[in-house]
C-alpha cells in the first residue's frame, strides 16, 4: 500500500478505536504531564543547588567550564530516568488500540518492570536527542544568560545543528519502535531490541516520517486554540503510532481491522 493511503488508513483506524476513549486518555496524559512537570522542577532545583555547591567548594565562577559542564551532565542523566515514562505511555496506547483493559498506573510500567533494560533503552534515545540538539541548547543558554556570542560561533553552531539534524532524523526513525518491541518481546536484551527496531524500520523510515509529518497541521491548530485542541491531537497521534507499530509487525491484522 502506498504511503499516503497507509497514513489515511492508520489515522482513520485511530479515530475509530479512540471513539469514547478520549476522556480516559486525556486524564492519563494529564497525570503523565504532572509527573513530568514535577520531575522537571525537581531537576532544575537540584541542578541549581549542585552547581552552587560546586562553585563554593571549588571556588569557581558560574561561567567556568566545570560549572557549565555540570549544568548539562546532571539534567542529562535525570532526563534518562524521566524518559522511561514513555514506555508506560506506549503500553497504555497499545492496550487502548487493541481493546485490552487499561489502568492509569501502567504508565509507570518502565519503572517497576525491568528498570535496568528500560534505563538502557532510554539512555540510547536520550543520548541521541541530547547530542543532536546540543547546539540549540548552547544557543539558548547564551540567550538566557545574555552573554555575548560571536558571529563565527553563531554560524558554527547553526551549521552543526543542521548537520546533526540530518543525522538525528534517520536514526530516530530507525529506533522509533524500541519501546513497543520491549513490551512485545520482554525476553530480548536492550541491544537485541535496538537491532530489531532498525531491522523492521529498514525501508519504512520515509513512511513513518510522512505519518508523523501529517500531524503538524493538527498540532498548529491545537496551539492556536490556546492548547485546548492538543488534548485531542496528542491521544490521536499516540494511538496512530501504536497502530503503526502493529501494522509494521503484522500488516494484515491492522489492514483488516
In angstroms, rounded to a whole number, what is the distance separating the alpha carbons of residues 127 and 80?
8
CB-based contacts of 193: which residues, under 8 Å, 6+ apart?
117, 121, 178, 181, 182, 185
In angstroms, rounded to a whole number, what is the distance separating the alpha carbons of residues 209 and 198?
15
pLDDT digits (tens, 9 = 90+) for 140-183: 877 776 667 788 888 999 999 999 999 999 999 999 999 999 99
> Model pTM?
0.88
Residue 93 has what pLDDT?
95
Residue 251 has what pLDDT?
54
Q: Give the chain's residues under pLDDT 70.
A: 1, 63, 145-147, 251-257
Q: Evaluate whether 111 touches 84 at the Cβ level (below 8 Å).
A: yes
The residue among 141, 137, 45 whose CA lies nearest residue 53 is 45
In angstroms, rounded to a whole number, what is the distance separating the alpha carbons of residues 230 and 224?
10
Q: Evaluate whether 123 touches 80 at the Cβ level (below 8 Å).
A: yes
DSSP letter at 163? H
In angstroms, rounded to a whole number, what is the distance separating the alpha carbons of residues 188 and 181?
9
Amino acid at each position: 500500500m502506498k504511503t499516503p493511503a497507509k497514513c489515511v488508513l492508520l489515522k482513520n483506524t485511530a479515530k475509530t478505536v479512540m471513539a469514547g476513549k478520549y476522556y480516559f486518555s486525556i486524564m492519563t496524559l494529564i497525570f503523565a504531564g504532572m509527573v513530568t512537570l514535577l520531575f522537571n522542577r525537581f531537576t532544575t532545583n537540584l541542578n541549581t543547588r549542585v552547581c552552587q555547591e560546586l562553585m563554593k567548594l571549588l571556588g569557581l565562577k558560574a561561567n567556568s567550564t566545570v560549572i557549565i559542564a555540570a549544568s548539562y551532565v546532571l539534567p542529562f542523566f535525570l532526563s534518562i530516568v524521566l524518559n522511561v515514562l514513555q514506555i508506560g505511555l506506549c503500553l497504555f496506547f497499545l492496550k487502548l488500540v487493541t481493546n485490552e483493559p487499561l489502568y492509569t498506573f501502567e504508565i509507570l510500567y518502565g519503572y517497576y518492570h525491568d528498570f535496568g533494560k528500560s534505563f538502557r533503552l532510554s539512555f540510547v534515545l536520550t543520548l541521541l536527542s541530547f547530542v543532536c540538539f546540543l547546539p540549540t541548547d548552547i544557543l539558548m543558554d547564551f540567550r538566557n544568560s545574555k552573554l555575548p556570542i560571536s558571529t563565527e560561533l553563531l554560524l558554527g553552531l547553526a551549521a552543526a545543528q543542521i548537520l546533526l539534524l540530518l543525522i538525528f532524523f534517520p536514526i530516530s526513525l530507525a529506533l522509533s519502535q524500541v519501546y513497543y518491541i520491549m513490551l512485545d518481546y520482554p525476553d530480548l536484551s536492550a541491544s537485541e531490541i535496538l537491532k530489531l527496531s532498525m531491522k523492521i524500520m529498514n525501508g519504512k523510515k520515509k513512511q513513518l516520517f510522512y505519518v508523523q509529518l501529517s500531524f503538524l497541521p493538527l498540532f498548529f491548530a491545537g496551539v492556536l486554540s490556546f492548547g485546548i485542541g492538543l488534548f485531542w491531537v496528542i491521544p490521536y497521534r499516540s494511538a496512530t503510532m501504536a497502530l503503526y507499530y502493529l501494522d509494521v509487525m503484522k500488516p494484515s491484522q491492522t489492514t483488516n481491522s
